[in-house]
Amino acid sequence: VSSNVVISDEQAYERTIPSVTIKDLAHWGQYAGAAYDNFEEWDTCGKCQITETLRHTSLNTTWSTALPAFSRGYIGVNHRLRQVIVAFRGTTHIMDVLADAQVTQTQWPAHISGSGVHFGFLLAYLSARQTVQAAVQALMADLAGYSVTFVGHSLGGAQAVLGFVDYCQRAECGGNAGLVTFGAPRVGNQPFAQHVNSLLPSDRLWRVVHASDMVAHLPQSLLGRYVHSDREVWVNDGNITVCEPSPEDHADGGPHGLPGD
């Protein structure tokens, strides 16, 4: 698939924005997609074997929780590319999660003044937190020179953001960590978004939005103002628009004229 990378001058401010390709996005998207299949049986899982890259990935850890909230995913290791991948699965009930009373924000992380995140998203992540963080830390201690990237789609993308931030509280992120989400909703308020963006260079933080996916424009609540973190990569008809709005633009409107995109 060919693609054009378009940089919006209106959103690009005083920084050089690197290009990204469909191939780059497909690499991480395949890992996010595999979280929707029977990844516990990696060798026979269709989406886990769809490309050579995934076939050469070994499964390290899995989790599946129902209480106190839904979280499911896996941690894989690609020794050829020296990558650790932490993939969170989304849910078909994302609109229910966004619409219910859990849209309220709660203080997190505790050491960031004024930072608030979606209570339901945090509850889901915390149900898997111990398993995820223990496995990642053990792998990164054993695999010198490997990178770790948190990926996820929809609700899985929201959990990936929280998992990434949590990991960076426990370890030096440096140049060996990354975050790539697909169709993720807003996770928290502006202090939280600014904290996320401060953790790594923006070329390691990608928020992919396809066409007119409305989940990326949610939640909106009078109980707490939600804004996006990370650089947006908008994919539409084979074209990629890479946008980096100013902090003020995060809350007031994106390149597509939709609130907070």
Q: What is the pLDDT of residue 6?
A: 38
Q: How many CA atoms lie within 13 A of 248 on its CB side?
A: 2
Instruction: Report yes or no: 244 and 192 within 8 Å, Cβ to Cβ.
Output: no
Q: What is the pLDDT of residue 63?
A: 97
Q: What is the pLDDT of residue 259?
A: 32
Instruction: Report yes or no: 142 and 59 within 8 Å, Cβ to Cβ.
Output: no
Q: What is the pLDDT of residue 242?
A: 72
Q: What is the pLDDT of residue 256?
A: 33
Instruction: Report yes or no: 163 and 196 within 8 Å, Cβ to Cβ.
Output: no
Per-residue buried b or exposed e for 240-255, using 16+ beta carbons within 10 Å of the residue's own CB: bbbbbbeeebbbeebb
* Radius of gyration (C-alpha) of the chain in whole angstroms: 17
pTM for the whole structure: 0.82
User: How many residues in total does the chain contain?
Assistant: 261
Q: What is the pLDDT of residue 236?
A: 67
**Neighbour-count burial of 222, counting CB atoms closer than 10 A to its CB (0-12 exposed, 13-18 middle, 19+ buried):** exposed
Closest to 227 measured CA to CA, from 94, 116, 113: 116
In a structure prediction context, what are the per-residue pLDDT tens digits for the chain, which is 261 residues long? 333 333 333 333 334 445 677 788 889 999 999 999 999 999 999 999 999 999 999 999 999 998 888 899 999 999 999 999 999 998 766 655 554 445 688 999 999 999 999 988 999 999 999 999 999 999 999 999 999 999 999 999 999 999 999 999 988 787 789 999 998 888 999 999 999 989 987 678 888 887 555 555 555 655 558 888 867 776 666 676 777 554 443 433 333 333 333
CA distance 157 to 123: 14
Q: What is the pLDDT of residue 221?
A: 52
CA distance 34 to 233: 21
